[in-house]
Amino acid sequence: MSFIELKHINKKYENAERNSVTDFTLSIEEKEFIAFVGPSGCGKSTTLRMIAGFEDITGGDLYIDGVRVNETAPRDRGIAMVFQNYALYPHMTVEKNIAYGLMNMKVPAGEIKKKVDWAVKILGLEEFRYRKPKNLSGGQRQRVALGRAIVKNQKVFLMDEPLSNLDAKLRVSMRNEISRLHRELGTTTIYVTHDQVEAMTMADRIVIMKEGVMQQVGRPMELYEHPVNKFVAGFIGSPQMNFYPVVLEDNLLKFADGSRIAMPDVMLERLGDRRGEMIMGIRGEDIKLDEQNMELYQKDRQHAVVENTEVMGNENNLYFTFGGSLTVARVSKYEISQIGDAIDFVFSPLKMHFFDKDTEESILK
């Protein structure tokens, strides 16, 4: 048995018409960092709160460290939780805020001091130790909230969007701090976010949810390279994957605007005997404008006129209409064009994804 086991977990709130979480099954290993991602309302917090014990489990079984804890009180589950809207005690100093939970648990004073010393050090809060929360920045306050969780020395950390109140720059630095903390402490962590970049950069494995149902679980690059359906393909990655309604006839991929691309044998093999209408998806970085790729896929060269650009230096996006759909290509700084420029480009055919037009499930073998 794994460290945390969720077996066919369901949640239906009283008075709700349908389940908020349906048949959620997942095994989490000790020391793993798991991220739950998905759009607003997909059931991330509900699942986390059931693990914490703040919500009843309607159906299924939850095990932590080998013990079934469905009916166990939150304080006896061995978890520490960090919320989005953590409330620090405004009249207490940083060290008192961090120590407060331990004082409540009647931990001896000497031990509390040791733990607080350790926490302020590991979180870089030493010079703020005697300050009150109102005299701290958002990131420093967030670190105090983390401090309260780590001193409790629990088996599992549960974090629900802990960084969403911070500005973009602070989010990036706190993201690194939490990752470092996880490497140092090795505490099994479940981290809820709707930010796929946070999930991709921090997690060992990501769980993607939609409308209460787990869509896919896997390592970040696994989800990026092999999404099981169009939803996952579209959710992971920025800018979003491009999608086209297409028809595959023999080895020819036909687009809504009449464009055609010949499919290489490797790809046909992965498509088996699937032909006809389907959805093709390709990521912006797999649309190529460089000479080498243009030469390689010379026969399937396409043309378009640039409608918009996003130039950020290291990351440059060109927008144009192709195949009847707005398309974004991610290009290097050597291929930046201006609005109105006519461009030639090719698709990396081996990087294409194919989805059933009705079920939207991946049809690649």
Least gap, CB of 24 to ligand ATP (angstroms): 11
The residue within the footprint of ligand ATP, chosen from 24, 44, 86, 259 (CB under 6 A), is: 44
Q: Measured between alpha carbons, how far is 244 from 281 in angstroms, rounded to an integer?
A: 6
- Residues of this chain, 305-344, that bind ligand ATP according to CB under 6 A: none
Contact of residue 43 among ligand ATP, Mg ion, none (CB under 5-8 Å per partner type): ligand ATP
Choice between 112 and 208, CB closer to Mg ion: 208
| 43 binds ligand ATP, rule: CB under 6 A | yes
Choice between 37 and 346, CB closer to ligand ATP: 37
DSSP state of 13: -
How many residues make contact with ligand ATP (CB under 6 A)? 12
* Span from 39-47, 126-134, 141-149, 181-189 in contact with ligand ATP (CB under 6 A): 39-47
- In sequence order, the 6+-apart residues with CB closer than 8 A to the CB of 296 are 346
The helix (run of H) or strand (run of E) holding residue 23 is strand 21-28
- In sequence order, the 6+-apart residues with CB closer than 8 A to the CB of 14 are none
Choice between 79 and 98, CB closer to Mg ion: 79
Least gap, CB of 212 to ligand ATP (angstroms): 7
Choice between 161 and 300, CB closer to ligand ATP: 161
Least gap, CB of 18 to ligand ATP (angstroms): 9
Q: Measured between alpha carbons, how far is 244 from 278 in angstroms, rounded to an integer?
A: 8
- Residues of this chain, 263-292, that bind ligand ATP according to CB under 6 A: none
Q: Measured between alpha carbons, how far is 160 from 192 in angstroms, rounded to an integer?
A: 5
- Residues of this chain, 12-31, that bind ligand ATP according to CB under 6 A: 13, 16, 20
- Residues of this chain, 178-217, that bind ligand ATP according to CB under 6 A: 194
The residue within the footprint of ligand ATP, chosen from 22, 45, 140, 302 (CB under 6 A), is: 45
Choice between 45 and 327, CB closer to Mg ion: 45
Choice between 41 and 59, CB closer to ligand ATP: 41
**Residue 248 φ/ψ, nearest 5 degrees:** -100, 115
* Span from 33-41, 119-127, 136-144, 226-234 in contact with ligand ATP (CB under 6 A): 33-41
> Whole-angstrom distance between the N-terminal and C-terminal Cα of the chain?
31
Strand partners, 247: 254, 277
Within 10 Å of residue 310's Cβ, how many Cβ atoms?
12
Q: Measured between alpha carbons, how far is 45 from 38 in angstroms, rounded to an integer?
A: 11
Q: Where are the alpha helices (H) located in the chain, listed in sequence order? A: 44-52, 94-104, 109-122, 138-150, 168-185, 196-202, 220-225, 230-235, 265-271, 291-296
**Residue 355 φ/ψ, nearest 5 degrees:** -130, 145
Choice between 42 and 123, CB closer to ligand ATP: 42
Choice between 39 and 186, CB closer to ligand ATP: 39
Chain positions contacting Mg ion, by CB under 5 A: 45
- Under a CB-based contact definition with an 8 Å cutoff, are residues 13 and 47 in contact? no
Q: Measured between alpha carbons, how far is 162 from 180 in angstroms, rounded to an integer?
A: 15
Least gap, CB of 224 to Mg ion (angstroms): 23
The residue within the footprint of ligand ATP, chosen from 35, 37, 42, 80 (CB under 6 A), is: 42
| 10 binds ligand ATP, rule: CB under 6 A | no
Site of interaction with ligand ATP (CB under 6 A): 13, 16, 20, 38, 40-46, 194
